[in-house]
A and B are shown apart, each in its own frame.
Chain A
Amino acid sequence: MPGNEGAQELVKLIIGIVRPEKANDVLEALYRADVRGVSMSRVQGHGGELDRVETYRGVRVKMELAEKVRFEIAVSDDFVEPTIQALCEGGQTGEVGDGKIFVVGLEQAVRIRTGETDHQAVTPLDR
């Protein structure tokens, strides 16, 4: 769908939560898909995977929260599919705990340096 009806295109926020050890693979896949504007943070979460049992000074504990990496990527509409593709491709191991992708609509995006909004704001200059 060419998001050209009306004056401005749609902008989406893609949130991808992946294994920390796959973060580099995801970054590489995103780079290859020409997706450049990315934020990344370390998070802890629980998504139904089996818990790890660890032992500290003889006390056995079940670690309910697993380390994950959370990507936040704001893209214009036609980049939504390639971005999802890249997240899946880079993040997949096939085992429980590979993570999730959420796509949400953005009301507005602004590039602070120039004041550009929406589509311009999320499009790198060299494109």
Chain B
Amino acid sequence: MSPMLAAAPAVDPGDTAWMLVATALVLMMTPALGLFYAGLVRSKNVLNTFMMSVGALGVVTVAWALIGYSLAFDTGNGFIGGLHYAFLRHVGFAPRAGTAIPHLLFMAYGATFCIITAALVSGAVVERMRYGTFLIFMVLWSVLIYPVLAHQVWGGGWLNQLGTLDFAGGVPVEMASGFSALAAAMVVRARKDYGRYALLPHNAVYVLLGAGLLWFGWFGFNGGSAYGIGKPGILAFVNTLLAPACTLVVWILLDLMRDRRATAIGAATAIVVGCVGITPAGGYVSPIWAMVLGALAALPSYAIIVWRPRTRLDETLDVLAAHGAAGLTGIVFIGLVAQRSWNGVADGLLYGDAAQLLWQVVAVLAAPAYAFAGTFVILKVLGLALPLRATEREEALGMDVVEHGEEAYTTGEGAILVAPDAPAGADAQFARL
């Protein structure tokens, strides 16, 4: 054990060990999301789609370390945190207030949340948005949107003071990404062939594997959100097993009722929806209520997924349905069935405290409004300076070749080495070997 850790007696080794693992689990969710999304797009856009998530691992982590963490978790005011922790000053081995884990680890755990949340928004704009512009968007979003909402509900902001409960991110992660995705789809607008041709997922196996890895990582996401191995963390961990299982069962039944066939992509979506639904409520509701929540969370998300493609709204990978709607369901559910005997914090309406439901509903009104408006403005302003989307010609060719100069499924046949010192471009000199 390092001398510095020993010098901070309030750090709990058990909590810290679990949070180190949980941080790594949540980090893995971002490439898992990339895989999930990559399977849902056409083969000519698979790398671009995956790279939007991979890009978040880079740019969002940097933004979080430099300023985002401070804006979220420094004291500040009711709206946003201050700059005391900017550039990771004053973030060391001593335990973070309210936890028994090193402050540095607390910061890293929070980073993994911000990363995946920014990456989630990409689902609304895949197959057409310019990669460079999207990276800049993610930086702005993870400074101006995520930390603000995280501060408000977790970092001592106004929702936090009001008494809104959000265990693992129904507000800053799920509703924020869902409603930001809605705004992004409206600003960037539909793909050129949307509504004219069926634009189908190219690999359902990626989608299933991505969903499986997301579920696995979600045990760290929810199970780690109590920052330790106490009862709330255990409850959230187990509820992360129970709720998505119920969502999966209900989704399969809905599929069977609608079309007599249980679809693979539907099942993968159900896993995500169930994990999202239990995210805000994980450590606050009993296991049985978590199962009911999982079952109920399927309904609004399923309805939106059936309805949305009939509109002109090309919110391509249904972030609003899977994250916005299910996150909202979970946040409201806390207000109904939270149980002090399980969570030690608060009761919901059914257990005698109607006020809790009110605080939950306030968050449901405020957070989506901020996320939607903020994202709308960021993208509109960004669109004045940079092209938001590829040209029609490039969109037809595929974003992989256009934005990355690579193809996911190239055979390599007919490829000729270009002399290493030749300049890039179609008219470059090349050597035939």
A interface footprint on B2-24 (CB within 8 Å = 1, 0 otherwise): 00000000000000000000000
Q: Across the interface, do B401 and A52 meet the contact criterion of CB distance under 8 Å?
A: yes
Q: A95 interface residue, CB < 8 Å from B?
A: yes
Most buried by A among B398, B406, B414, B422: B414
User: Which residues of chain B have C-beta atoms less than 8 A from A46's C-beta?
Assistant: 414
A interface footprint on B336-363 (CB within 8 Å = 1, 0 otherwise): 0000000000000000000000000000
Q: Across the interface, do B414 and A60 meet the contact criterion of CB distance under 8 Å?
A: no
In the complex, chain A residues 15-53 whose Cβ is within 8 Å of any chain B Cβ: 19, 21-22, 24, 44, 46, 50-53
Q: Across the interface, do A95 and B405 meet the contact criterion of CB distance under 8 Å?
A: no
In the complex, chain A residues 46-79 whose Cβ is within 8 Å of any chain B Cβ: 46, 50-56, 59-65
Q: B430 interface residue, CB < 8 Å from A?
A: yes
A55 with B414, Cβ < 8 A, contacts A24-B197, A50-B426 known: no
Q: Across the interface, do B406 and A54 meet the contact criterion of CB distance under 8 Å?
A: yes
Q: Across the interface, do B417 and A53 meet the contact criterion of CB distance under 8 Å?
A: no
Q: Across the interface, do A60 and B424 meet the contact criterion of CB distance under 8 Å?
A: yes
Q: Across the interface, do B396 and A21 meet the contact criterion of CB distance under 8 Å?
A: yes
Q: Across the interface, do A53 and B393 meet the contact criterion of CB distance under 8 Å?
A: no
Q: A117 interface residue, CB < 8 Å from B?
A: no
Chain A, interface size category, equals 20 to 34
Q: Across the interface, do A51 and B406 meet the contact criterion of CB distance under 8 Å?
A: no
In the complex the two chains form, what is the Cα distance from A60 to B419 in whole Å?
Answer: 8
In the complex the two chains form, what is the Cα distance from A52 to B397 in whole Å?
Answer: 11
In the complex the two chains form, what is the Cα distance from A8 to B413 in whole Å?
Answer: 44
B-side interface mostly: loop
A63 with B415, Cβ < 8 A, contacts A19-B396, A54-B401 known: yes
In the complex the two chains form, what is the Cα distance from A52 to B357 in whole Å?
Answer: 58
User: Which residues of chain B have C-beta atoms less than 8 A from A62's C-beta?
Assistant: 415-418, 428, 430
Q: In the assembled complex, how far is the CB of residue B409 from the closest CB belonging to chain A, in whole angstroms? A: 10
Q: A93 interface residue, CB < 8 Å from B?
A: yes
In the complex the two chains form, what is the Cα distance from A65 to B410 in whole Å?
Answer: 11
B interface footprint on A63-106 (CB within 8 Å = 1, 0 otherwise): 11100000000000000000000000000010100000000000
Q: B420 interface residue, CB < 8 Å from A?
A: yes
Q: In the assembled complex, how far is the CB of residue B403 from the closest CB belonging to chain A, in whole angstroms? A: 12
Q: Across the interface, do B397 and A64 meet the contact criterion of CB distance under 8 Å?
A: no
User: Among B406, B414, B417, B426, which residue has its beta carbon within 8 angstroms of that of A65?
Assistant: B414
Q: B98 interface residue, CB < 8 Å from A?
A: no
Q: B425 interface residue, CB < 8 Å from A?
A: yes
In the complex the two chains form, what is the Cα distance from A26 to B418 in whole Å?
Answer: 35
User: Among A50, A51, A55, A64, which residue has its beta carbon within 8 angstroms of that of B405?
Assistant: A55
Cβ-closest chain A residue relative to B407: A54
Q: Across the interface, do A60 and B422 meet the contact criterion of CB distance under 8 Å?
A: yes
Ranked nearest first, the 7 interchain pairs of A and B with the lowest CB-CB distance are A65-B414, A21-B396, A64-B414, A60-B418, A61-B415, A50-B426, A62-B416
26 contacts between A and B (CB under 8 A): A19-B396, A21-B44, A21-B396, A21-B398, A24-B193, A44-B413, A50-B426, A51-B426, A52-B405, A53-B418, A54-B406, A54-B407, A55-B405, A56-B406, A59-B417, A60-B418, A60-B424, A61-B415, A61-B417, A62-B416, A62-B417, A62-B418, A62-B430, A64-B414, A65-B413, A65-B414
